[in-house]
Amino acid sequence: MFELGVVRRNIVRADRVAVDQLAKFGASTVHEALGRVGLMKTYMRPIYAGARVSGTAVTVLLQPGDNWMLHVVAEQIQPGDIVVAACTTDNTDGFFGDLLATSFRARGAVGLVIDGGCRDVRDLTEMGFPVWSRAISSKGTVKATLGSVNIPVVCAGMAVNPGDAIVADDDGVVVVPAGIARKVADAAAAREANESEKRAQLAAGVLGLDMYKMREPLEKAGLRYID
Amino acid sequence: MFELGVVRRNIVRADRVAVDQLAKFGASTVHEALGRVGLMKTYMRPIYAGARVSGTAVTVLLQPGDNWMLHVVAEQIQPGDIVVAACTTDNTDGFFGDLLATSFRARGAVGLVIDGGCRDVRDLTEMGFPVWSRAISSKGTVKATLGSVNIPVVCAGMAVNPGDAIVADDDGVVVVPAGIARKVADAAAAREANESEKRAQLAAGVLGLDMYKMREPLEKAGLRYID
Amino acid sequence: MFELGVVRRNIVRADRVAVDQLAKFGASTVHEALGRVGLMKTYMRPIYAGARVSGTAVTVLLQPGDNWMLHVVAEQIQPGDIVVAACTTDNTDGFFGDLLATSFRARGAVGLVIDGGCRDVRDLTEMGFPVWSRAISSKGTVKATLGSVNIPVVCAGMAVNPGDAIVADDDGVVVVPAGIARKVADAAAAREANESEKRAQLAAGVLGLDMYKMREPLEKAGLRYID
Amino acid sequence: MFELGVVRRNIVRADRVAVDQLAKFGASTVHEALGRVGLMKTYMRPIYAGARVSGTAVTVLLQPGDNWMLHVVAEQIQPGDIVVAACTTDNTDGFFGDLLATSFRARGAVGLVIDGGCRDVRDLTEMGFPVWSRAISSKGTVKATLGSVNIPVVCAGMAVNPGDAIVADDDGVVVVPAGIARKVADAAAAREANESEKRAQLAAGVLGLDMYKMREPLEKAGLRYID
Amino acid sequence: MFELGVVRRNIVRADRVAVDQLAKFGASTVHEALGRVGLMKTYMRPIYAGARVSGTAVTVLLQPGDNWMLHVVAEQIQPGDIVVAACTTDNTDGFFGDLLATSFRARGAVGLVIDGGCRDVRDLTEMGFPVWSRAISSKGTVKATLGSVNIPVVCAGMAVNPGDAIVADDDGVVVVPAGIARKVADAAAAREANESEKRAQLAAGVLGLDMYKMREPLEKAGLRYID
Amino acid sequence: MFELGVVRRNIVRADRVAVDQLAKFGASTVHEALGRVGLMKTYMRPIYAGARVSGTAVTVLLQPGDNWMLHVVAEQIQPGDIVVAACTTDNTDGFFGDLLATSFRARGAVGLVIDGGCRDVRDLTEMGFPVWSRAISSKGTVKATLGSVNIPVVCAGMAVNPGDAIVADDDGVVVVPAGIARKVADAAAAREANESEKRAQLAAGVLGLDMYKMREPLEKAGLRYID
């Protein structure tokens, strides 16, 4: 893990149909379907509101202040991929802007998740190219030191393997291991079906206390009502 | 203070008419009318721009990663209330989403202030249910440990008693003790009337230096002009 | 540097034509044209998205929780200026709101950059008066302690001299020393001309690896491709 | 709450005998005895390791960058008190140094808890005057704006009333409401007696799993062992 | 990865001899020997200065505010292990204190690395049981929700597999994959041998510029000397 | 300012006698003597307690993750200098360790102030080579990109010119412009003489309220005493 100077060309991507379904459920539902794991740190924010995408991860490990490997990863992108960029240390420099976005899109990428900075946000917003980043920064980068492409990385506190499914929206970024993407998509669908029914009841004034039958366990736990 | 496992059912809410007036002045004017106190920490941000509400506080003390008490507090909501959720420790998990919002709204709540995370922000934005939170997070929570409802809490650095008036907008969240809501609303109204006059003068090019008669005290304090 | 209690009235402003051109290139391009220096800390964020301005700096050094000097600086504003406000210590109080904005605009200011808090963001947004700040806060300030006006300051990690050119947009705030504003504007123009050509190639699927001739240096650095 | 410009001279202090006992149990045991509440934010750190004190709170609300009220609170100190200093906004300035420490000690104070900065740490360490603060800073302060003394405050996220018992050590700062200081001291004593027995068993190799009879509830919760 | 409710009993530990050697080189040398990867986030700090240990990782994934799994992991400790505790979300609660340390030591653990809070630091210091943590906190925890033991985790930004070698000292915490512990120990030894020679030269006044032959590459990169 | 790729060899250092005196007053007294300016951000902390030094600044601007220029600056060190290292962006990597310290000391440096990370803290502590840094980190750095030496920099929020006097201790790091070092040393001496007298009075129980004659201005400001 974390070997530097390596580009893996052949990776096994999560099932395309399953990955495509994840976007419609969104990050929070998928996170629950995964058993409440898989969420990146909450400092990862979209550069504009409203985007919701899912895709397969091509990963890249960057060095601080150096975006050389983003050019290397571009060649490994296939349609439907999301680039997931980690860095060997905390760094907010503007690794990515509208030129790289143009290139990534031309290769078929549907978005970028970067544990670093992003710039040209006005252009990216106009292009509709979604980015989740830890910062927005004009700070330029050099092209001097090797990182790696398509190795396992830790991005914003979450382990990501090449080919994993990624789902990202206003709520954050969730990583689904490639091998269980189908199962998670099914669980998310089941969960969502279930939610419509609950929503209707709650809207009608039914309390969660009753709908989820919480009164007895709360009382057992010692909850006391006083006037 | 901070007794766990207690739900107080009867609280004295601030005067409704006064509370309703606070929203139109906004957080900053009310904060000044209070004598420059009462503002929660500035990390409390609205999940979408442009909301401005006022209401009476029903309080809830949460445990980290546990939203059980949000279901308990739902039952205590009356029309015009704002739920104010504190936590026994710093935690950004997604305690609150669109299902709870549906329930809170059905009970008459006009918003939520939570020193924790919020999720389903796209749905909440579409619903127009305003939330001020310390984070946005998909991270799900359990229902295992008791907190309390309608006890005095500290939320984002500010003491809140059940029934206090809350006013929140893009500038932040301000707490007005229930007993002085009327007085504060009047002071805010006076302040605002006063501001229109000032705004007109400043727009006409009059300097604050002259309008507020600052030149003499600045000179006394030792201010020197050099060329 | 950092002498307190001083207002300098005569400052040498950067060349107006050059300064006006900077806005159209934006912060990131200007930052590159400067040789990748000059960017303020990334915690400086616009209070609303989409603003892009350039102007000449009038500087002010504030004391924590005290906005007295903002009234003093107002008198020194000339059309086309941007006020750059530093503080003697980290402070997020709401030093600036719609009244001061009205006054600044009446004097000809095109924006404010403040290493502190800002309030009345709804009003400022409606006015279209752009502010870049470290925080949004209702917290009011006093008028009790002297700072200075038009002395060299450090604002959000960047040294700013009175008269320097400032360019700010969604990507951040960049400072261009007054003496080289023309040269930087020319370099930014050249850079941008160059970018259109690159953008077209990348959009057509050409890789940065080939366009920038990176394959050989990457190989020399030891990059290995594996399957 | 939070009225500015007020000094309350008569406050009811927690029972002296109970307060004195709290120091020997330390912050963590007292926090548990309180039912796991009462701890200030963890950014409050001692300026030197190894101090452990308890005392009765005299409270002071400061303005940012202004230590005027620390001179006012000095007069209200009685032997055995700990000064608890809050601030109307986040501020790390060096409000307190060796001169004030000399004065506080002469009045009988046993320590200071300040949600702000402290300086002269070398002198304070030599004096053995313990301080818990959010920062260490040489930054000097002015004496220009009123706060209050002996009003309820929120210090580092915790509500403190004048007269409350405070216990502070390397683990942090805990607030015990004055009215229950005796009860809490007794509970802490019981807890500690209980711990010696447990410590001996654990040292002998008994597992908490068995000592606390956790195996069954863990199994019920679904824990699975795999090889 | 990140399956909850699972305890893996059989793990493959890194070679004991190699692991034991790592401590004598320290975190920084091992980090270099690894190719400049493997370091946890720098917020991980020792609770007292001067400790330096190496051991094999037994991992545990905690839930926020809940230390139940620390009792479960205790049973899996073998002599020479270091417990590495991750959490499903950022949390600073005091999961660990002197009782658990007594139990861990009785099982043979040589230290704890926890991406959470630690308490009883005075007792732990007296015991000489080293802990690296993100915070010190009295805040108590509950025992209500399952995590897992000996699954791959991300702790303070670094992926850790059960059995990996851990080396920790005042410089931080480094993770060495189990399979390459021997190779890394050898590389660290070579590196250190090399350093003595360099140190002697530098102490004698030889410049790194000459010793590392940097003058030519610096000149090629464009470095200019001016008077 | 901030020109990259430049080494200035001839700088004008502050008066040696004055600089040497500053250490005995310490950072806080010097900061006051400067008129309460000149302090670096409070995140700059000594790697061990108790050091107090003063010296003349040789400055260096680093690139993130790259310590090449520390070797370049070594050659410019003269006896009595303190190296002040800034970085073009926030970065906590371990730029500096015991080898560079050996070299710096051989050249006559009395310490390092670095707005970045430091490693080998155990060795540096044993050597007694004091460092003030924003972080401690094992993370290694590359030697690939030019910065500059002896240009004006901003280090931890404070502007530093080559040759300025630096005084650093447990309270922080203060920058004294070279041209006024003598004046500031004299003012610090006067201030300290004055403090002994005050300390004696305060120790005898005299209140600051009386010693500084604050009662009247407090009353004028509206302070009210209540029982």
Model confidence pLDDT, tens digit, residues E51-70: 999 999 999 999 999 999 99
């795999």: which residue's tokens?
D226
Q: Which chain B residues contact residue A171 at CB under 8 A?
A: 94, 119-122, 136-138
Confidence of residue A11 (pLDDT cuts 50, 70, 90): very high
Confidence of residue A2 (pLDDT cuts 50, 70, 90): low
- To the nearest whole angstrom, how far is the Cα of D90 from the nearest Cα of chain C? 7
Q: How many CB pairs under 8 A join A and C?
A: 106
Burial of A204 (0-12, 13-18, 19+ CB in 10 A): exposed
A40 touches chain E (CB under 8 A): no
C6 touches chain B (CB under 8 A): yes
Confidence of residue D2 (pLDDT cuts 50, 70, 90): low
Contact criterion met (CB < 8 Å) for C102 and B202: yes
- To the nearest whole angstrom, how far is the Cα of D202 from the nearest Cα of chain B? 27
- To the nearest whole angstrom, how far is the Cα of E109 from the nearest Cα of chain D? 12
Say which of D63, D92, D137 has its CB closest to residue C65: D63
| F65-88 average pLDDT score | 98
> Residue F120: pLDDT above 90?
yes
Contact criterion met (CB < 8 Å) for C93 and D139: no
Displacement of CA E204 from its chain's centroid (Å): 34
Least confident of B33-37, B57-61, D191-195, F212-216: D191-195
| B112-137 average pLDDT score | 98
C201 touches chain F (CB under 8 A): no
What is the structure's pLDDT at C1? 47
> Residue F142: pLDDT above 60?
yes
> Rounded to 5 degrees, what are φ and ψ at F57?
-80, 125
Residue A42 is encoded by which pair of tokens?
Answer: 């909450």
Confidence of residue C194 (pLDDT cuts 50, 70, 90): confident
Contact criterion met (CB < 8 Å) for F177 and C90: no
Compare E213 and B195 and report the one with higher pLDDT.
E213
Residue D204 is encoded by which pair of tokens?
Answer: 């002998």
3-state secondary structure of B5: coil
Nearest to D119 by CA among F174, F184, F112, F118: F174
Q: How many CB pairs under 8 A join B and E?
A: 47
Query: Cβ atoms within 10 A of the Cβ of E10, count?
Result: 10
Contact criterion met (CB < 8 Å) for B89 and E90: no
What is the structure's pLDDT at E1? 47
DSSP state for residue A164 in the 8-state scheme: -
Confidence of residue A1 (pLDDT cuts 50, 70, 90): very low
What is the structure's pLDDT at C3? 82
B7 touches chain C (CB under 8 A): no
Q: How many CB pairs under 8 A join D and F?
A: 108
Confidence of residue B2 (pLDDT cuts 50, 70, 90): low
D226 touches E9 (CB < 8 A) = yes
Whole-model pTM? 0.97
- To the nearest whole angstrom, how far is the Cα of B182 from the nearest Cα of chain C? 20
Say which of E169, E172, E218 has its CB closest to residue F137: E172
Task: State the best of B133, B138, B145 to mutate against chain A, taking most chain A CBs within 10 Å.
Answer: B138
C179 touches chain D (CB under 8 A): no
- To the nearest whole angstrom, how far is the Cα of F159 from the nearest Cα of chain C? 7
Query: Cβ atoms within 10 A of the Cβ of E16, count?
Result: 14
pLDDT digits (tens, 9 = 90+) for D157-166: 999 999 999 9
Could you tell me whether strands B111-118 and B94-96 are parallel, antiparallel, or unpaired per DSSP bridges?
Answer: parallel
What is the structure's pLDDT at D3? 83
| A160-171 average pLDDT score | 98
- Give the whole-angstrom CA distance, residue F85 versus residue D213: 56
3-state secondary structure of D131: strand
Contact criterion met (CB < 8 Å) for E152 and A159: yes
Task: State the best of C90, C92, C119 to mutate against chain D, taking most chain D CBs within 10 Å.
Answer: C90
pLDDT digits (tens, 9 = 90+) for B154-201: 999 999 999 999 999 999 999 999 999 999 999 999 999 888 899 999
């003058």: which residue's tokens?
E215
State percent of chain F over pLDDT 90.
96
Kindly state the helix (H) or strand (E) to which residue C71 belongs, with its residue range.
helix C68-74
> Residue F2: pLDDT above 70?
no
> Residue D14: pLDDT above 70?
yes
Task: State the best of E22, E42, E166 to mutate against chain F, taking most chain F CBs within 10 Å.
Answer: E42
Contact criterion met (CB < 8 Å) for A159 and E154: yes
> Residue E81: pLDDT above 60?
yes
Residue D172 is encoded by which pair of tokens?
Answer: 């942090």
Contact criterion met (CB < 8 Å) for F169 and D122: yes
Write the single-letter amino acid at F26: G
pLDDT digits (tens, 9 = 90+) for E132-145: 999 999 999 999 99
Beta-carbon contacts of B48 under 8 Å, excluding residues fewer than 6 positions away, are A49, B121, B124, B125, B130
- Give the whole-angstrom CA distance, residue C188 versus residue C22: 8
E80 touches chain A (CB under 8 A): no
The average confidence (pLDDT) of chain B is 97
| A56-83 average pLDDT score | 98
**Chain E contact partners (≥3 CB pairs within 8 A):** A, B, D, F
- Give the whole-angstrom CA distance, residue A113 versus residue A102: 16
- Give the whole-angstrom CA distance, residue D46 versus residue D35: 24
Q: Which chain D residues contact residue B3 at CB under 8 A?
A: 35
Query: Cβ atoms within 10 A of the Cβ of A196, count?
Result: 8
C75 touches chain B (CB under 8 A): yes
Confidence of residue F183 (pLDDT cuts 50, 70, 90): very high
Confidence of residue C165 (pLDDT cuts 50, 70, 90): very high
Could you tell me whether strands B111-118 and B148-149 are parallel, antiparallel, or unpaired per DSSP bridges?
Answer: unpaired
Q: Up-side HSE of residue D9: CA atoms within 13 Å toward CB? A: 6
B218 touches chain D (CB under 8 A): no
Look at the alpha carbons of A20, A23, A24, A27 in this order and tell me if their dihedral is positive or negative.
Answer: positive
pLDDT digits (tens, 9 = 90+) for B74-121: 999 999 999 999 999 999 999 999 999 999 999 999 999 999 999 999
- To the nearest whole angstrom, how far is the Cα of E158 from the nearest Cα of chain A? 7
A70 touches chain B (CB under 8 A): no
Contact criterion met (CB < 8 Å) for B1 and D41: no
Nearest to F136 by CA among E170, A64, E53: E170
Confidence of residue E107 (pLDDT cuts 50, 70, 90): very high
What is the structure's pLDDT at A194? 86
> Residue C153: pLDDT above 60?
yes
Compare E194 and E182 and report the one with higher pLDDT.
E182
> Rounded to 5 degrees, what are φ and ψ at B135?
-165, 160
Confidence of residue E3 (pLDDT cuts 50, 70, 90): confident
Nearest to F4 by CA among F65, F83, F86: F86
Q: What are the Cα distances from residue D112, in Å, to B111, D61, F198?
A: 39, 13, 20
Contact criterion met (CB < 8 Å) for D92 and C90: yes
Chain F residues 91-150 with a CB less than 8 Å from chain C: none
Residue D199 is encoded by which pair of tokens?
Answer: 């410590």
What is the structure's pLDDT at F213? 98
Asked casually if ipTM beats, i.e. exceeds, 0.90, the reply is yes
Contact criterion met (CB < 8 Å) for D92 and C92: no
> Residue C2: pLDDT above 80?
no
pLDDT digits (tens, 9 = 90+) for A73-106: 999 999 999 999 999 999 999 999 999 999 999 9
Q: Which chain B residues contact residue D152 at CB under 8 A?
A: 159
Q: Which chain E residues contact residue F72 at CB under 8 A?
A: 209, 214, 218, 223
- Give the whole-angstrom CA distance, residue F28 versus residue F167: 9
Query: Cβ atoms within 10 A of the Cβ of F23, count?
Result: 20
Confidence of residue B211 (pLDDT cuts 50, 70, 90): very high
